[in-house]
């Protein structure tokens, strides 16, 4: 089947083609795609605040099209933005999507990308209300801005952790990183052999999905809300647990103790770390892209938090003077270091 060149549609034709299957779902979305600007109305509730976040994904930096399906990429691009809104204890409502595309990208590829975005929006009840398209000479670029809402008295910042608060995480950690290691290994083998043999990923589906198709934790925010729990501080785990926890400690002016044995890790993650001869705890602490929630709650809520499915207590907040440490399985204390993803560590000259 011949692929359709983007130039045959033109900018406005392409925008219409990609966005016409995105019906509006939220009452705040008055006008979506099709005018000079979207129209949103948040005036109905004076106790609600608007949250705004933006993430950009660059080909060759954040994703590799050799092993990343376009539909998965669209889904992930939306999810990383939803996750930032959930990390503020809010709910995402609208997104705008801006893409930069080269001539090698077909209309059908963009259809798949927007299929993934649409699936994410449907699952999380979010409206696509605008964006932009432009040409690119450096590969595919995806920039998404997400707008959300939160009750003004329930917004959670990074700066609210208090001494003796419990440190909690949702889900499990390190799986996305091990999925990436597996994909990179198989890419190298594929390019070296050039025989077209496809890799066998049987038994490794979970870690691959965690890398290629992560799920923002709306369910955890809903469960906390149903239990009447408002965290004192919260972040999503995009750059690695150690990095995010140090952000909370720095902005809250506190220290912490995290127990190595309490960090939740899936069996597939552990198995793959053994295959690669990598330290499992290091992968969980520094891998990143898990998009789980890291948050703190008062010690008095210990029993309530333990009853919420998908949440595990991994440590506690200390006085700033006690520093930040990982307590190993043998009881030793190691200074916690931010060794996770840093997008500006090796910038292009």
Same domain as 193, residue 112: no
Q: What is the model's pLDDT at position 38? A: 62
Write the DSSP symbol of residue 41.
-
Q: What is the model's pLDDT at position 95? A: 97
Q: Rounded to whole angstroms, how far apart are CA atoms 16 and 35?
A: 11
Residues of the chain with pLDDT under 70: 10-12, 33-38, 194-196, 340-349
Which two tokens mark 300?
């008095």
Q: What is the model's pLDDT at position 215? A: 97
Same domain as 218, residue 142: no
Q: Rounded to whole angstroms, how far apart are CA atoms 3 and 106?
A: 6
Report the run of H or E that residue 211 belongs to, with start and end. Answer: helix 205-212
Q: What is the model's pLDDT at position 20? A: 80
Total number of domains constituting the chain: 2
In a domain, 264, yes or no: yes
CATH number, residue 54: 3.30.1330.10
CATH number, residue 270: 3.90.650.10
Q: What is the model's pLDDT at position 345? A: 54
Same domain as 127, residue 175: no
Same domain as 205, residue 143: no
Neighbours of 58 (CB within 10 A): 17
Q: Rounded to whole angstroms, how far apart are CA atoms 110 and 117?
A: 10
Same domain as 119, residue 249: no
The residue from 91, 116, 151 where one domain ends is 151
pTM of the complete model: 0.90
Strands 254-259 and 141-151: unpaired
Q: Rounded to whole angstroms, how far apart are CA atoms 183 and 204?
A: 11
Domain that holds residue 252: 166-335
In a domain, 3, yes or no: no
Q: What is the model's pLDDT at position 94? A: 95
Q: What is the pLDDT of residues 2-27, one digit of tens each?
A: 788 877 876 667 777 777 888 888 88
């Amino acid at each position: 089947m011949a692929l359709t060149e983007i130039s045959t549609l033109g900018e406005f034709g392409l925008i219409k083609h990609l966005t016409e299957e995105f019906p509006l779902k939220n009452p705040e979305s008055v006008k979506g795609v099709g005018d000079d600007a979207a129209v949103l109305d948040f005036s109905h509730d004076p106790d609600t605040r608007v949250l705004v976040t933006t993430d950009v994904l660059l080909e060759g930096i954040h994703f590799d099209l050799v092993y990343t399906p376009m539909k998965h990429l669209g889904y992930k691009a939306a999810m990383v933005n939803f996750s930032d809104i959930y990390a503020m204890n809010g709910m995402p409502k609208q997104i705008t999507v801006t893409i930069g595309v080269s001539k090698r990208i077909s209309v059908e590829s963009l259809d798949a990308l927007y299929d993934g975005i649409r699936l994410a929006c449907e699952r999380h009840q979010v409206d696509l209300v605008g964006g932009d398209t432009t040409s690119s000479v450096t590969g595919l670029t995806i920039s998404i801005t997400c707008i959300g809402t939160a009750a003004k008295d329930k917004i959670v910042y990074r700066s609210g952790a208090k001494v003796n608060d419990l440190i909690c995480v949702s889900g499990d950690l390190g799986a996305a990183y091990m999925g990436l290691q597996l994909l990179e290994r198989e890419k190298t083998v594929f390019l070296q052999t050039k025989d077209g043999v496809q890799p066998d990923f049987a038994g490794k589906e979970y870690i691959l999905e965690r890398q290629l198709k992560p799920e923002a934790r709306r369910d955890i925010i809903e469960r906390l809300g149903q239990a009447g729990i408002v965290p004192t501080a919260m972040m999503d785990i995009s750059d690695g647990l150690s990095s995010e926890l140090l952000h909370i400690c720095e902005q809250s002016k506190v220290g912490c103790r995290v127990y190595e044995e309490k960090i939740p890790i899936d069996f597939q993650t552990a198995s793959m770390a053994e295959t690669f001869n990598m330290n499992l705890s290091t992968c969980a602490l520094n891998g990143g892209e898990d998009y789980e929630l890291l948050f703190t709650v008062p010690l008095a809520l210990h029993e309530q938090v333990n009853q919420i499915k998908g949440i595990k207590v991994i440590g506690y907040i200390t006085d700033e003077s006690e520093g930040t440490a990982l307590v190993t399985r043998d009881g030793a204390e190691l200074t916690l270091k931010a060794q996770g993803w840093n997008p500006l560590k090796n910038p292009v000259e």
